[in-house]
């Protein structure tokens, strides 16, 4: 059974159909990369999986449990999924360490000193132990994004969602974030991410999905989708971004 099973999901904003009968299976330990033009529904899909948006139809199952059922405890589901945003979304009034320990202390009831020890461990892992007491605004973009990844990881999520996490970074800083994600993948973390970094997608993805106008147009291993795309729309997209 898949860890994450998305079936026939539909999501609209007003008259705009953002996701249209979208289906996708993600196995445990797998890294699935969503590619496609801006507005193709990649971010919305991630937000639906994290229950930040309510789907208009269809089912999303995590570990065999229907999380689109309005009767479930959404806060619990969310705390089992880590999400990292394009704009980091760190809390500017808290130190880096407090950003990381907020959820363990307040949501999971971890004692403060245990949470801090674990938070420091996480920050050390992303190479930010020295910045634990800094404010997010005093960090570079790459450091902020790594702090955001540490914040998501500290909850020991079953699934990580990464929404164009390198789009706001300059090329030099992209590398440090991507290296971290590669390590996560090696550790067996299940990841669903969208990116415009095709080389990274090629390198890290087990499965690549090409989205177009809210539909899954083509999916398969990178060698197939990136090297030998069958759909004209995919071919056109890849040709354009490689220019």
Q: At what angle do helices 141-153 and 171-186 cross, to 10 degrees?
A: 20
CA distance 231 to 243: 19
Site string for another protein, 94-133 (x = CB under 8 A): x-------xx--xxx-------------------------
* Interaction between residue 146 and another protein (CB under 8 A): no
Partners of 66 in the β-ladder? 61
Distances (CA, A) of 61 to 21, 26, 66, 69: 15, 10, 4, 10
Determine, following the binding rule CB under 8 A, whether residue 216 of this chain makes contact with another protein.
Answer: no
- Give the C-alpha separation, 72 to 60, whole Å: 12
Q: Which of 42, 116, 151, 215 lies at the binding interface for another protein (CB under 8 A)?
A: 151
Q: Any idea what DSSP says for residue 223?
A: I
Of residues 186-215, those binding another protein (CB under 8 A) = none
Q: Identify the burial level of 80 via C-beta atoms within 10 angstroms of its C-beta, where 0-12 means exposed, 13-18 middle and 19 or more buried.
A: middle
- Comparison of 50 and 219: residue with beta carbon closer to another protein: 50
Are 122 and 100 in contact, with CB atoms under 8 Å apart?
A: yes
At its nearest, how many Å lie between another protein and the CB of residue 223? 33
Q: Which is nearer to another protein, 53 or 203 (CB)?
A: 53
Closest distance to another protein from the beta carbon of 79 (Å): 3
Which residues make up the interface to another protein (CB under 8 A)?
47, 50, 52, 75-76, 78-83, 85, 87, 89-94, 102-103, 106-108, 135, 137, 151-152, 155
């Amino acid at each position: 059974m898949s860890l994450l099973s998305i079936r026939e999901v539909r999501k609209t904003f007003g008259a705009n159909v953002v996701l249209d009968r979208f289906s996708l299976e993600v196995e445990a330990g797998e890294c699935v990369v969503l590619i496609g033009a801006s507005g193709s529904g990649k971010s919305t899909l991630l937000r639906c999986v994290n229950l930040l948006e309510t789907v208009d139809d269809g089912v999303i199952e995590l570990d065999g449990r229907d999380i689109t059922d309005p009767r479930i405890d959404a806060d619990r589901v969310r705390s089992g999924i880590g999400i990292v945003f394009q704009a980091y979304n760190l809390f500017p009034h808290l130190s880096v360490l407090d950003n990381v320990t907020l959820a363990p202390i307040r949501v999971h009831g971890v004692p403060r000193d245990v949470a801090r020890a674990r938070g420091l461990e996480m920050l050390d892992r992303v190479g930010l132990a020295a910045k634990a007491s800094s404010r997010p605004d005093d960090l570079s973009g790459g450091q902020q994004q790594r702090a955001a990844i540490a914040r998501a990881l500290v909850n020991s999520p079953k699934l990580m969602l990464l929404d164009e996490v390198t789009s706001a970074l300059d090329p030099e800083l992209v590398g440090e974030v991507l290296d971290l994600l590669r390590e996560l993948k090696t550790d067996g973390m299940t990841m669903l991410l969208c990116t415009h970094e095709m080389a990274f997608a090629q390198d890290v993805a087990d499965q690549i999905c090409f989205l177009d106008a809210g539909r899954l147009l083509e999916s398969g291993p990178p060698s197939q989708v990136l090297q030998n795309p069958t759909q004209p729309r995919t071919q056109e997209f890849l040709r354009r971004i490689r220019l």
